[in-house]
C-alpha cells in the first residue's frame, strides 16, 4: 500500500524524529513505500514492549523454577519479545561490527537469526534496553542504515531464552527463595571454585555448584567450605558440590606456577599482592627465612631473585608441595626446606644460620636478612622464640634481621594494637617500624604486616650491667632503618 509522502512527514514531525532519520526515511519514501507502511504500524506494537521492559524481571528465567533443588535446565526456558532489524544476508557481516553497541547482549545467544518467512533477509536482534523504538537510534546509526541501504524499521520478534542464555546470578536468583541473598561469588584456585555458602543456601548447594560449573569455563570442580579456618595447618574442610573430586591443582601467582592439593594445604588467591610487596624489597644475595612457608609463595619467588632461602612449614603436605614447587620452578638448589614447628625452626635453623650472616657490617656488606612470619592468628606469639636466641654478644656493629610478622586485629586502631602486642611479646619498645594494612578479612577484622629490625636487646642474652650499654655496642634500629 502506498502512503503519500506528505502523510509520512506529518508522522515524523509528530514523533519528533531526528533530522538524519527524516532524511533517510525521505529516501525510503522514494524508493520503498511498502516498507514505509510497515514502519507506520511500528508505534503501537512496541508500546507493549516498553511496558515489558519496565519489569525488572525481563531477563529472569521462567518463574516456575523457584525452589528447584535438582537442576532441570529445560525448565528455565522463557519467551520474550525483542526488537529486530531485517538485514539482507549478504551485508550482515559488514554491518555487525558497526552495530555492535546496539545488539542484544546475552550469554551464548546468536544475534543473527533466520527469518523463516523471508529468504532475502536475516533478523538482527537488538538490545531491548537500548532500542525501544526507532527514536532510540542515533544520527550515526541512520547514516549507517543509509550507507547499507537498510530499512531502519524495528520489528518485534518472539525469542526463546534457554538456560544457556541466562547469567549465573539470574539463574540462582530465580531458584533461591525470594528476598534472600543470592551469592554466587567464589574464589578461584586453579580448576577449583571455592565457595562459602550461607545456611539458607545449603539446601540448594548441589544446584548452585552445577550452575557455577556450567557458567565458568575452566572450572571443573566446585567446593564449599564446611568449617571455619581454625585447623593448625590453616586448610579448609570442604565438600565437593559439583564436578570432579580432584583437589590437586595448579595456579599462577606473579608469573610463578604452584601445584598443591587444595584440600590439604593453605592457599589464598588474595595474597598475591602481599607476596609481591615483600619480594619486591629483596635483592640478589639477601637471606630469607620463611617460618610459615606454606607451599612456597614467598620462598619460590625469593629464590628466583637469587636470594638464599630457608623455608619451613609444620604441615607435612605443605612441606611436600613446597619441595615440589621449588623443583617445578627450578630453584631447589637455592631453597632449603624444613618440616618442623615454627618455634623450633627459629631456635635451630634461624639461630645457626643467623650467626653466619650477622657478620660485622663493613662497607662492602650490602645484603640484608629477612624473616617472614605469615600465620596471622598466632605469629606474634612466636616472636618470643627470638628472645635471647644468641648467646654471644658481638663486639662490633652488626646488622640485624628485618622481621615481617603478620597479625589479625579487630581493634578500632589495628596498627596500634599490633604494634603494642609485638612490643609486649618482645619486652621492648620498637622505635623504627612500618605497619602495612594487607587486607580486610571480615567486617571489623584487618590483616596487618608489621616490619621491624629485630632489636639487639631482644636477640642477645641479657648480660649483667657493664660499663658500656649494649645499645652502644650494637647498631640501633634507627641506624639499621627498616627496609
Residues that bind ligand SAM (CB under 6 A): 232-234, 266, 268, 271, 292-294, 297-298, 312-315, 318, 341-342, 374-375
Where do we find the cell 506528505? 6
Q: Considering the complex, state which of residue 151 and residue 315 has its C-beta at the smaller distance from ligand SAM.
A: 315
CB of residue 116 to ligand SAM, shortest distance in Å: 58
Q: CB nearer to ligand SAM: give 32 or 340.
A: 340
> Per the annotation, does 144 bind a ligand?
no
- Distance in Å, CB of 340 to ligand SAM, minimum: 7
User: By Cβ distance, which residue is nearest to ligand SAM?
Assistant: 294
C-beta of 229: minimal distance to ligand SAM in Å?
9
Measured from the CB atom, the residue of 220 and 254 that comes closer to ligand SAM is: 254
Q: Does the annotation list 374 as a binding residue? A: yes
Cβ proximity of 212 and 222 under 8 Å: yes
Q: Taking the complex as a whole, how short is the minimal distance between the CB of residue 372 and ligand SAM, in angstroms?
A: 7
> CB-based contacts of 104: which residues, under 8 Å, 6+ apart?
82, 111, 125, 126, 127, 128
Kindly tell me which of 341 and 411 has the beta carbon lying closer to ligand SAM: 341
User: Do the annotations mark residue 341 as ligand-binding?
Assistant: yes
**Dihedral sign, CA of 420, 424, 426, 428?**
positive
Q: How far is the CB of 290 from ligand SAM (least distance, A)?
A: 6
In the bound complex, what is the minimum distance in angstroms from residue 381's beta carbon to ligand SAM? Answer: 10
* 314 labeled binding residue: yes
CB of 93 to ligand SAM, least distance (A): 49
Query: Nearer Cβ to ligand SAM, position 342 or 401?
Result: 342
Identify which of residues 207 and 311 has a Cβ nearer to ligand SAM in the complex: 311
Task: Pick between residue 152 and residue 342 the one whose CB is nearest to ligand SAM.
Answer: 342
The reply, when asked if residue 342 is annotated as ligand binding, is yes
Shortest reach from residue 297's CB to ligand SAM, in Å? 5
In terms of CB distance, is 78 or 234 closer to ligand SAM?
Answer: 234
Q: CB under 8 Å to 166, separation ≥6 — which residues?
A: 59, 60, 61, 76, 107, 174
**Could you tell me the smallest distance in angstroms from the CB atom of residue 310 to ligand SAM?**
13
* Closest to ligand SAM by CB, 190 or 455: 190
**Three-state SS across the chain?**
CCCCHHHHHHHHHHHCCCHHHHHHHHHHHHHCHHHHHHHHHHHHHHHHHHHHHHCCCCCCCCHHHCCCCCCCHHHHCEEEEEEEEEEEHHHHHHHHHHCHHHECCCCCCCCEEECCCCCCEEEEEECCCCCCCHHHCCHHHHHHHHHCCCCCCCEEEEEEECHHHCCHHHHHHHHCCCCCCCCCCCEEECCEEEECCCHHHHHHHHHHHHHHHHHCCCCCEEEEECCCCCCCCCCCCEEEEEECCCCEEEEEECCEEEEEECCCCCCCHHHHHHHHHHHHCCCCCCEEEECCCCCCCCHHHHHHCCCEEEEECCCHHHHHHHHHHHHHCCCCCCEEEECCCHHHHHHHHHHHHHHHHCCECCCCCCCCEEEEECCCCCHHHHHHHHCCCECCCCCCCECCCEEEEEEEECCCCHHHHHHHHHHHHHCCCCCCEEEEEEEEEECCEEEEEEEEECCHHHHECCCCCCCCCHHHHCCCHHHHCCC
Binding-site members are 275, 313-314, 341-342, 374
Binding-site members for S-adenosyl-L-methionine are 275, 313-314, 341-342, 374
Amino acid at each position: 500500500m502506498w502512503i503519500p509522502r506528505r502523510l509520512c512527514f506529518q508522522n515524523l514531525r509528530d514523533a519528533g524524529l531526528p533530522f538524519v532519520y527524516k532524511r533517510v526515511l525521505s529516501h525510503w519514501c522514494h524508493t520503498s513505500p511498502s516498507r514505509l507502511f510497515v514502519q507506520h504500524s511500528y508505534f503501537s506494537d512496541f508500546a507493549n514492549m516498553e511496558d515489558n521492559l519496565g519489569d525488572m524481571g525481563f531477563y529472569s528465567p521462567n518463574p516456575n523454577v523457584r525452589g528447584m533443588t535438582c537442576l532441570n535446565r529445560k525448565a528455565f526456558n522463557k519467551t520474550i519479545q525483542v526488537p529486530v532489524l531485517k538485514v539482507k544476508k549478504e551485508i550482515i557481516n559488514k554491518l555487525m561490527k558497526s552495530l555492535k553497541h546496539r545488539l542484544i547482549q546475552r550469554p551464548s545467544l546468536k544475534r543473527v537469526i533466520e527469518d523463516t518467512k523471508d529468504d532475502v533477509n536475516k533478523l538482527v536482534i537488538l538490545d531491548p534496553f537500548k532500542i525501544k523504538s526507532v527514536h532510540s537510534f542515533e544520527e550515526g546509526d541512520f547514516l549507517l542504515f543509509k550507507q547499507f541501504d537498510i530499512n531502519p524499521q524495528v520489528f518485534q520478534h518472539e525469542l526463546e531464552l534457554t538456560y544457556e542464555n541466562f547469567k549465573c546470578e539470574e539463574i540462582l536468583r530465580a531458584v533461591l527463595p525470594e528476598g534472600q541473598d543470592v551469592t554466587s561469588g567464589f574464589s578461584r584456585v586453579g580448576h577449583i571454585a571455592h565457595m562459602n555458602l550461607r545456611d539458607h543456601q545449603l539446601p540448594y548447594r548441589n544446584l548452585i555448584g552445577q550452575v557455577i560449573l556450567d557458567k565458568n569455563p575452566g572450572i571443573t570442580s566446585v567446593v564449599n567450605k564446611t568449617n571455619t579456618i581454625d585447623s593448625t595447618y590453616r586448610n579448609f574442610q570442604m565438600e565437593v558440590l559439583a564436578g570432579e573430586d580432584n583437589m590437586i591443582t595448579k595456579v599462577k601467582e606473579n608469573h610463578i606456577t604452584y601445584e598443591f592439593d587444595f584440600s590439604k594445604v593453605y592457599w589464598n588467591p588474595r595474597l598475591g599482592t602481599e607476596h609481591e610487596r615483600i619480594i619486591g624489597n629483596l635483592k640478589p644475595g639477601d637471606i630469607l627465612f620463611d617460618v610459615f612457608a606454606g607451599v612456597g609463595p614467598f620462598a619460590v619467588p625469593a629464590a628466583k631473585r637469587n636470594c638464599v632461602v630457608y623455608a619451613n612449614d609444620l604441615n607435612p603436605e605443605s612441606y611436600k608441595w613446597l619441595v615440589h614447587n621449588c623443583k617445578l620452578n627450578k630453584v631447589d638448589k637455592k631453597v632449603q626446606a624444613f618440616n618442623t614447628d615454627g618455634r623450633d625452626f627459629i631456635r635451630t635453623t634461624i639461630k645457626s644460620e643467623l650467626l653466619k650472616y650477622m657478620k660485622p657490617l663493613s662497607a662492602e656488606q650490602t645484603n640484608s636478612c629477612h624473616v617472614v612470619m605469615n600465620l596471622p592468628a598466632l605469629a606474634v606469639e612466636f616472636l618470643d622464640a627470638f628472645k635471647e636466641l644468641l648467646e654471644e654478644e658481638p663486639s662490633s656493629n652488626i646488622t640485624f634481621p628485618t622481621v615481617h610478622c603478620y597479625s589479625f586485629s579487630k581493634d578500632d586502631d589495628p596498627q596500634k594494637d599490633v604494634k603494642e602486642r609485638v612490643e609486649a611479646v618482645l619486652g621492648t619498645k620498637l622505635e623504627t617500624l612500618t605497619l602495612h594494612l594487607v587486607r580486610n578479612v571480615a567486617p571489623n577484622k584487618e590483616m596487618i604486616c608489621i616490619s621491624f629490625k629485630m632489636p639487639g636487646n631482644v636477640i642477645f642474652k641479657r648480660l649483667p650491667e657493664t660499663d658500656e650499654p649494649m645499645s652502644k655496642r650494637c647498631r640501633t634500629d634507627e641506624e639499621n632503618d627498616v627496609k
